[in-house]
Structure 1
Amino acid sequence: MPRIRAASPFVLVLVLVLVLTGCGQIQRDKQDMALESTLSGYRAALRWGYYETAWGYLHPELREAPLEADWVERVRVVGYDVVQDPVMADETTATQVVQIDYVDEEVQRMHSLADRQVWRYDPDGRRWWLHSGLPAFR
């Protein structure tokens, strides 16, 4: 009968490092996918005029309850273009710059603004929150 040799401590440490590295990568991939999904949902909410939904992406500490901005009834977003793709400042903070074109329906005038968005990841809730506020529609 063949004899089974015990693995050396070096091999055990190497296997452990590889497993932990793989698990960390899976977590980062999930976090990246959550960011992509969040940015897409936020863009769609603004683009289609679902401002209450967009307001829901704000970190709860930044929300005024309920959304009572003077622009909600008169602004129609007609363009939303990513100028700078998300840049990770650290593992839990991403910054993105977008250009938003909108019409003030009270005066039928087109405006454009650059919106620098700061997103932070909440590991407990496993979701991204907008920390820079809603766009400054004027």
Structure 2
Amino acid sequence: MHKLTSLLLPALIALLALAGLPRAEAAGSSRKLEQAQVVFSSAMRWSDYEAAWQMVDPEVRAEKPLTDLELERYKQLQVSSYREGGNGELEDGTIARSVEIGVINRHTQAERMVRYQERWRWDPKAKRWWQMAGLPDFWDGK
């Protein structure tokens, strides 16, 4: 009986470790989402639009590249506040987060509030989260 237990115990431990793997991956993914959101939020708070752009999904960046003119328009704006709502999972597995952003036009000193919806997707190959909504459209007028 002792031999059987010594053979089964390592197998049982390995099985239990594998059973906890998806939960551990999910926890790691959740931590990485939080970290990615902090990096994106920090870049936006500091009006570092180029750094925020690097957090945008490469597919989105390729589909709709940020032009030099658009970047210059962003540089005319100073972010004065960035208030995040909670995360909510959408049906397709992406994460949505509502944000309210205060922006000041550097030339007119006029401030306004803009609502924006971040969308985040997990990239299993890169093992990281990408922001899919692009940079906020501060000129939409909504």
The TM-score normalised by the length of structure 2 is 0.81
Alignment of 1:1-138 (within 5 A): 3-4=1-2, 6=4, 18-63=16-61, 64=65, 68-69=69-70, 70-83=72-85, 85-89=86-90, 92-138=93-139
Contact 1:92–1:122 under 8 Å retained in 2:
no
CA distance in 2 between counterparts of 1:96 and 1:18 reads 34
- 1:105-135 superposed Cα distances (whole Å, 9 cap, x missing partner): 1221101111111100001100111111111
> Once superposed, what is the RMSD of the aligned Cα atoms?
2.5
Q: Aligned to 2:32, what secondary structure does the other structure show? A: helix
Unaligned ranges ≥5, structure 2: none
| Residues 125 and 18 of structure 1, relative CA distance in 2, 3 Å threshold | same
Q: Aligned to 2:50, what secondary structure does the other structure show? A: helix
CA distance in 2 between counterparts of 1:28 and 1:39 reads 16
CA distance in 2 between counterparts of 1:67 and 1:24 reads 43
CA distance in 2 between counterparts of 1:31 and 1:91 reads 16
Q: Aligned to 2:116, what secondary structure does the other structure show? A: strand
Deviation at 1:21, TM superposition (A): 2.5
The TM-score normalised by the length of structure 1 is 0.83
Contact 1:71–1:137 under 8 Å retained in 2:
no
Letter matched to residue 117 of structure 1: E
Q: Aligned to 1:71, what secondary structure does the other structure show? A: helix
Q: Aligned to 2:4, what secondary structure does the other structure show? A: coil
Contact 1:47–1:77 under 8 Å retained in 2:
yes
Contact 2:47–2:75 under 8 Å retained in 1:
no
Contact 1:121–1:129 under 8 Å retained in 2:
yes
Q: Aligned to 2:20, what secondary structure does the other structure show? A: helix
Unaligned ranges ≥5, structure 1: none
Q: Aligned to 1:54, what secondary structure does the other structure show? A: helix
The number of aligned residues is 133
CA distance in 1 between counterparts of 2:14 and 2:92 reads 23
- 1:91-114 superposed Cα distances (whole Å, 9 cap, x missing partner): 841110010001011221101111
Answer 1 or 2: which has greater strand percent.
1
Answer 1 or 2: which has greater helix percent.
2
